[in-house]
Amino acid sequence: MDVTFEITDKTGRKVRLTGKTWTHIRTEHSNVENQEEIIETLQKPNKIINDEREGVEYFFRYFKHKKWKSKFLKVVVKYINEEGSILSAHFVKNIK
């Protein structure tokens, strides 16, 4: 597994982004312009939502400088044994 970065999120758990997932994000969600936006969202989120049904957590951060209407970056993380893997990241209009 090619790890692009590994950081500690706001809750103290390790989270990693793989090259494969970064390629998916840049291809499918091109308004996510750089990895620093993802890192900032994981370390300084405005809100974290735990979706037990889906088995993931959603991290949200507001980026007011974005030219699109969708200004909240939503990072989807799956945790197994307190270690997280980013599944996706994209901008949304609202936290939900």
Q: Give how far Cα 73 sits from Cα of 12, 47, 81, 82, Å.
A: 20, 11, 25, 22
Number of domains in the chain: 1
DSSP 3-state of 16 = strand
Q: Is the confidence at residue 67, as pLDDT, over 90?
A: no
Predicted confidence at residue 14, as pLDDT, reads 97
Strands lying side by side in the sheet with 72-80: 3-8, 14-18, 83-92, 72-80, 56-62, 47-51
Q: Per residue in 16-48, pLDDT tens?
A: 999 999 999 999 998 898 999 999 999 999 999
The terminus-to-terminus CA distance of the chain in angstroms comes to 31
Give the H/E segment covering residue 5. strand 3-8
The answer to whether the CB of 15 falls within 8 A of the CB of 74 is no
CATH number for the domain including 57? 3.30.2310
- Read off the pTM: 0.93
Q: Is the confidence at residue 77, as pLDDT, over 70?
A: yes
Question: Which residues span the domain enclosing 72?
Answer: 3-92
Tokens (6 digits) for 31? 């308004």
